[in-house]
Amino acid sequence: MGKLTRREFSKAAFVLPPLGGLASLMVPPSGGPRQASAGEAGPKPRKPNIVYFIIDELGYFELSCMGHKELRTPNIDRLAAEGVRFTQFLAGGCVCAPTRATLLTGKHLGHTSLRSNNGWEPLRAGEETIASMLKRAGYATGGFGKWGCGARGTSGVPETHGFDVFFGYYDQVHAHTFYPSYLIRNSQEVPLEGNPGSYLEGKTFSQYVIHDEAKKFLRANKDRPFFLYLPYTPPHGQYGFPDDDPSLAPYRDKPWPRDAKVYAAMVNLVDRQVGEILALLKELGLDDNTIVFFSGDNGGNEYFADKAARPDGLFGPNVDPATGKRRFRGGKGRLYEGGLRVPYIVRWPGKIKPGRVSDHLGYFPDIMPTLAELTGAPCPPDTDGLSILPELLSDNRPRPRPSSSSSTPNAEPAQRQHKYLYWEDCGQIAVREGAWKAVRTRGPKGVWELYDLATDLAETTDLAAKHPDILARLTRYAEEAHTPIQEGEVLDRDLVLRDRYIPLGKTIPDKPWGPPPRR
C-alpha cells in the first residue's frame, strides 16, 4: 500500500461502521426474519433508504414547531416530534449554489470547485458526490428540484455526478421560475403544457410536476435501497402560484402583499408535500427503514420588511417567536449566524429517539461521511466533514483512537468534534472554533471581527481587540483552510445560456459570466 498523507490517514482511520456494526442498522427484507437452515445463509439485511429534503430559503424560525404564529407546518412538526431537531447544524454557505456544493461533496468552501452564486458554475468532471458514493454502494439515486451545481453544457450536470435521474432545474436562475416552458431530465428538455414562458403564470405549476416525479421514483425503487434527494425551490421567489391551491386559502384575506401571501402558501405547500412523501413511505412499508433529513439551504431572507412595523421581515426568519426579539444577526448572503442557521431535523423510526433536541455543532460537509458510515459505503478521503451518526443515534460509547486497539484508556467519544468550521462566501470569511467565531466581511480589505457565541449569540460585541491571541489562531485556521479554486468546465456555452436567459424572455448578453468569487 502506498503512503498516506496525514489527511488521508485521518479519513481512513475514522470512516468506521457504527458501534454494533452496520448490520445493526439494517432491517431484514419484508416479511420479517426467518431461521436459516443448517448450511444456509440467512436473509441479507437491506440497507436503509435515504430521503433528503433541502428547502430553498426556509428560515430557522419559519416552522410552527418553532412557535411561528403565521406559518403552518404540521408535517414538518411531526418530523421533529418523531426525530431529532438540531439547534446549530449550520449551512455550508450563506447562498444557494455554494451551500449545495458543500452538502453534495462533503467539502467546505475552501476546497469546493464551486464557490460563487452565479448559478450556472459547475462541479469538476469526476468530482465525487453523495450520489456517486451511494450509487457505487448499490443505491438507486434520484434528485428532483433545483440542482445549482452546474448548468446544462458543463462538467457539473447531475447525471455525471452519480444521479440515475435528475428532474427539475439545473441553472438556479431557471429554478426561480415556477411556470417555465420546460423542465430538464438528465439534460433533456421536458415541455410543460400551457406555459408560454412567463415565469409568473401559466397552466402547469412546476413544483407539482417535480413532486409527482419524485413520488414515481420512490415507487419504482421500493424494492431496492434508494437515495431520494429533494432540493425543492419553494418558498424561494419568484412568486407565481396557483390561485386554487389549498395552501393559499388560509392567507387569502390577510392584509399582506400578494407575494407575502404566496410565500406563506409555499411554505405550507412544501409541508404538504413532505407529508405526502411520509405517507407514501408508510404505504409502501418503507417507513421503518428510511431515514429522512429535512433542512433549509441557508439562512432565511428577511422578505417583506417594513422599517417601522416589520424591520426583520414579515415572517421574521431570525426572530424568536417566544420573545419577539431578533436571535441571529444578518440573514441570507451574510456569514453571521442569521445567514448560516437553518432548520435541521432527522427522523428514523426505531433508531433515532423521538422528540430530542441536539446542540451538536456541525455543518453540511458532515452529511457525506454520515451517509458513508450509515450505509457502509467508502467515503472519499478528501472530505472535510465528520460523521454525525453517533449523535443521531444517541450513541455515546467511546471508540478506540486510531493509535490503539483498546477502548481504554486511549479512547475518544463516539461523536467526534470539529477542530474548526470554515466558510468563504460572497466576499466574506468565517471560522468557528467551539463558541468562538471570527468573521471578515467586505472582501480582502475587510477587518476581522471576533465573537463569543456562548454569551453573544446575536454577534453584537466585537472582542477582536480584547482577545488578539484567539483571533490570531482563528485567522491561521482560515489561511490553512483555503486552497486555490479548481473550477469545472463549460462545454457548450449556448446550452448554458439557454436555460438562464430564454425562460425569462431576456436577451443573452455579450458577456454573461460573473466575476470570480472574492475571498
pLDDT tens digits, one per residue of 414-470: 899 999 999 999 999 999 999 999 999 988 889 999 999 999 999 999 999 999 999
265, pLDDT greater than 90? yes
pLDDT at 309: 77
Same domain, 340 and 472: no
**C-alpha cell recorded at residue 52:** 433528503
CA angle 194, 199, 205 (to 5 degrees): 50
Query: Domain for residue 26, yes or no?
Result: no
CA torsion 197-198-201-206 (nearest 10°) is 50
Pairing state between β 428-433 and 344-347? unpaired
Same domain, 338 and 439: no
Residue matched to cell numbers 410565500: 263
Query: Domain for residue 516, yes or no?
Result: no
pLDDT at 173: 87
Query: Domain for residue 268, yes or no?
Result: yes
Same domain, 324 and 432: no
**CA-based nearest residue to 377, from 138, 137, 142:** 137
Angle, nearest 10°, between helix axes 258-283 and 74-82?
50
**C-alpha cell recorded at residue 169:** 432545474
Same domain, 97 and 142: yes
Same domain, 382 and 477: no
Average pLDDT, the chain: 88
pTM as predicted: 0.89
Same domain, 314 and 462: no
In tens, the pLDDT along 272-300 reads 999 999 999 999 999 999 999 999 999 99
**CA-based nearest residue to 123, from 140, 143, 134, 107:** 107
pLDDT at 502: 63
Same domain, 339 and 445: no
Q: What is the mean pLDDT of residues 379-400?
A: 89
Same domain, 164 and 213: yes
C-alpha span between 210 and 212 (Å, rounded): 6
**C-alpha cell recorded at residue 281:** 413511505
Query: Domain for residue 208, yes or no?
Result: yes
Q: Which segment of 1-10, 331-340, 433-442 scores lowest on mean pLDDT?
A: 1-10
Query: What's the one-letter identity of residue 66?
Result: M
In tens, the pLDDT along 60-70 reads 999 999 999 99
Query: Domain for residue 456, yes or no?
Result: yes
Highest mean pLDDT among 9-13, 44-48, 220-224: 220-224
**Residues 6+ away with beta carbon under 8 Å from 457:** 327, 328, 337
C-alpha span between 55 and 91 (Å, rounded): 12
In tens, the pLDDT along 116-152 reads 898 789 999 999 999 999 999 999 999 999 999 999 9
- Collapsing DSSP to helix, strand or coil, 103 comes out as helix
Highest mean pLDDT among 238-252, 304-318, 343-357: 343-357
Number of compact structural domains in the chain: 2
Same domain, 62 and 180: yes
Query: Domain for residue 99, yes or no?
Result: yes
Query: Domain for residue 298, yes or no?
Result: yes
Q: Which segment of 225-229, 249-253, 399-403, 436-440 scores lowest on mean pLDDT?
A: 399-403
Q: Are 98 and 117 in contact (CB under 8 A)?
A: yes
Same domain, 174 and 274: yes
Q: Domain range holding 455? A: 421-481
Question: Torsions phi, psi of 497, nearest 5?
Answer: -75, -30
Q: Are 346 and 352 in contact (CB under 8 A)?
A: yes
Of 345, 372, 402, the domain-final residue: 402
Query: Domain for residue 343, yes or no?
Result: yes
Residue matched to cell numbers 418553532: 66
Find the CATH number of the domain harbouring 274: 3.40.720.10
Same domain, 477 and 383: no
pLDDT at 513: 52
Same domain, 100 and 175: yes
Find the CATH number of the domain harbouring 466: 3.30.1120.10
Question: Torsions phi, psi of 411, nearest 5?
Answer: -135, 165
